[in-house]
Chains A and B, each alone.
Chain A
């Protein structure tokens, strides 16, 4: 059976002093982010010092932050009892499953695990399960784990792996604060000095202290005159206590005969506790916090271990500033080179230089991705019925990146102007985007990846493209059968789309006919807008020829344009090829290009030229005739090595 949380045991009703400040800080951290900071959290203290209050406070605070959080509080005895009942009922597994779904498990008084091997095994299993699921477990005991008799060594190690922290007896000031708060809660008013007199007694157990307060309240309720400090001391058992106990070394001795000195001592104690002790605990709290966030705290730990030579406040401020710097460097480096994520170099505030150097390396490895060619402009494209749809889609994307068509895929045969459109669109996007615009061919993309693999710098390579504001990939069909390229492209695609970046692709093959491309990638391409860029129609061919001729001659010969425009040409590039042949012939003959010359050049039977290898080292050569792109056809492989590399890609 699980006990409910006592509504009075909340953080705001807990008096925090030097004795319990660390435990309170840790408890708050756990309540704010269960399962992430100190897991398990093990709090130990002598009875009556507020363990249960702290434990239930965690439960209340965690629920206040996250209403849906599943919180279970129980004492070890309840844990044992219900386990035995479940076993007896044959419900052992159900019992275990019940705890496995708890987000925050609070177990009180685990010192009773002594000699209970079976329950130790259950708790060990439960701790492992909860930890692996990032669920929080908090335990309390009246002694540290290592002093719990016959406790399984594995459990001790598990507890030590989280945070083991103690709560010590409250000091004088905390005792006064506790008494004042409890007196306020009971609406009891005492003369000045009464509560202080009780607090000055060596009662270091909060329950006993509250018992003493109860006696004061009861006495004052039946008394006609206000209680005097001396009476309060006697009522609280001060005389007996003083007789029974030797003056504690931690408490300045109070000599009744020396009242002035006692007062002086009391004030000095209060001041020391407030001033000196407060920042000692502040340092310790800072250590807990930064250590919990994974930073090395050697520097501030030394504040507690060495003779002070500096202002601790300043050291803490500087340390916090260094941590902030590390966090900024880490964020930058992780963006540039995701493989640096998790690097411990960003966890040591005493080695900022190391983190700076690592970030600098990441910066160097992340030069901007290839930009679109400045030669191609969107406005230079001739608009005709055949390409109107593609052009309009491109203009819409240029005007409203991401929000209109993302991704945009342009499909068309070779030479129809996909590359021009892609780069032109890239340039248009570059004028309005804040980050770099990446524009490259799939072939270059693969080559870069291979080089990055070779240099063991894939992280930096990925970061280049992840940093781009828009990503344009020409000839995406060339990633067919290149598994690693497809993997990288798939991941990049998801990252950029999720990050709200524009993506544009061109493909020489309709997406439905793409082979060798994984469905997960193909379907993502199909999820955007796919527009066709067909072979140029007659109107387009005329416009292209007119513009080309005007560039070479002062006026375009309408007859020549008509003739060339009527020739079969599957692409703009082929059209330019026809025109170039006519221009070359005219130049060699020293005449003006005309229809007759064009007929002569274009209708004559083609000479049988011997095939000769092109100069390109890839072994790609152009066909002697025909409209296919000379760049896309491989006739033979002069170098077998080239072919092997290509196939490997």
Chain B
């Protein structure tokens, strides 16, 4: 995917929200959608099943305007979390410049988180990409739930964040941590673009 185009003076970043089903990926995008001025956002495409689960993927284009002479666009995607939609996940993951791994903080979803993280690593490897080379941040969602139901941020870090990348505590439904997460991954992606390794 072409990210920095000096001829068109354009920067395009593709960020994929990954994680187990019902962890809150679409909620993240919906919150962002609600906070972006109308002129700056494209139409959010969301293909959901009858039970309101993501069937295909969500897509939210953001036009950030001209920054330092570059027309800057962010494309936010989510993948379907359910394990049987792996083909779709692979498709969406292609060309991702950064990944937000949205984990469900509920203790009972511990294994689902691990399985999804493993799946992310496998899918990236399938595309010849080492997860260590991709900007990734963790978001531990649903931290607003009662303490006895969830793992804390430190506990979640211990369980998932082996490489000690940036992690964010979030309550995507009410917006806490949503933009912080987006800022975190954006910074990593842009720094990596500037370093040229993903410049295409």
Which A residues have a C-beta under 8 Å from some C-beta of B? 18, 171, 249-253, 255, 257-258, 260-261, 263-265, 267-269, 271-280, 303-314
- Cα distance A356–B70 when bound, in Å? 41
Determine how close the nearest CB of chain A comes to the CB of B169; give it in whole angstroms: 16
CB distance B193 to A276 under 8 Å?
yes
B4, CB-defined interface residue at 8 Å: yes
Determine how close the nearest CB of chain A comes to the CB of B129; give it in whole angstroms: 17
- Cα distance A249–B66 when bound, in Å? 6
CB distance A250 to B179 under 8 Å?
no
B149, CB-defined interface residue at 8 Å: no
Beyond A261-B37, A264-B182, A307-B5, is A276–B196 a contact (Cβ under 8 Å)? no
Choose from A269, A304, A309, A311 the contact partner of B67 (Cβ within 8 Å).
A269
Neighbouring B residues of A273 by C-beta, 8 Å? 67-68
CB distance B175 to A252 under 8 Å?
no
- Cα distance A405–B65 when bound, in Å? 78
CB distance A272 to B187 under 8 Å?
no
Beyond A261-B37, A269-B68, A313-B195, is A276–B11 a contact (Cβ under 8 Å)? yes
Neighbouring A residues of B36 by C-beta, 8 Å? 258, 261
Neighbouring B residues of A309 by C-beta, 8 Å? 199-200
Beyond A267-B183, A311-B197, A312-B196, is A277–B69 a contact (Cβ under 8 Å)? yes
Neighbouring B residues of A306 by C-beta, 8 Å? 6-7
- Cα distance A311–B190 when bound, in Å? 14
Determine how close the nearest CB of chain B comes to the CB of A246; give it in whole angstroms: 13
Beyond A267-B186, A268-B190, is A276–B37 a contact (Cβ under 8 Å)? no
CB distance A272 to B11 under 8 Å?
yes
Cross-chain pairs A/B with CB under 8 angstroms, 16 sampled: A250-B66, A253-B40, A261-B35, A261-B37, A264-B179, A264-B186, A268-B183, A268-B187, A273-B68, A275-B191, A275-B194, A275-B195, A277-B69, A279-B194, A279-B196, A307-B2
Which B residues have a C-beta under 8 Å from some C-beta of A? 2, 4-8, 11, 32, 35-37, 39-40, 64-70, 72, 74, 175, 178-179, 182-183, 186-187, 190-191, 193-197, 199-200
Beyond A260-B175, A264-B179, is A271–B4 a contact (Cβ under 8 Å)? no
Chain A interface mostly helix, strand, loop or mixed?
A: helix
CB distance A308 to B199 under 8 Å?
yes
Determine how close the nearest CB of chain A comes to the CB of B63; give it in whole angstroms: 9
Which 6 A-B pairs rank lowest in CB-CB distance, beginning with the nearest?
Answer: A275-B194, A311-B196, A252-B65, A277-B68, A255-B37, A272-B67
Number of A-B contacts (CB under 8 A): 114
Cβ-closest chain B residue relative to A260? B179
Beyond A264-B183, A268-B190, is A276–B65 a contact (Cβ under 8 Å)? no
Given contacts A260-B179, A271-B191, A308-B6, 6 further A-B contacts (CB under 8 A): A251-B65, A252-B65, A253-B40, A265-B65, A267-B187, A304-B6
Choose from A250, A257, A271, A274 the contact partner of B69 (Cβ within 8 Å).
A250
Cβ-closest chain B residue relative to A254? B37
- Cα distance A312–B196 when bound, in Å? 7
Neighbouring A residues of B32 by C-beta, 8 Å? 261
Neighbouring B residues of A275 by C-beta, 8 Å? 190-191, 193-195
Determine how close the nearest CB of chain A comes to the CB of B86; give it in whole angstroms: 31
Determine how close the nearest CB of chain B comes to the CB of A517; give it in whole angstroms: 66
Determine how close the nearest CB of chain B comes to the CB of A276; give it in whole angstroms: 5
Cβ-closest chain B residue relative to A257? B37
Cβ-closest chain A residue relative to B39? A253
- Cα distance A247–B190 when bound, in Å? 24
- Cα distance A274–B186 when bound, in Å? 13
Determine how close the nearest CB of chain A comes to the CB of B69; give it in whole angstroms: 7
Cβ-closest chain A residue relative to B197? A311
CB distance A308 to B196 under 8 Å?
yes
Determine how close the nearest CB of chain B comes to the CB of A336; give it in whole angstroms: 39
Beyond A253-B40, A277-B68, A310-B196, is A263–B6 a contact (Cβ under 8 Å)? no
Determine how close the nearest CB of chain A comes to the CB of B68; give it in whole angstroms: 4
CB distance B35 to A258 under 8 Å?
yes
Neighbouring B residues of A307 by C-beta, 8 Å? 2, 5-8
- Cα distance A250–B186 when bound, in Å? 20
- Cα distance A303–B175 when bound, in Å? 41
Neighbouring A residues of B4 by C-beta, 8 Å? 276, 308
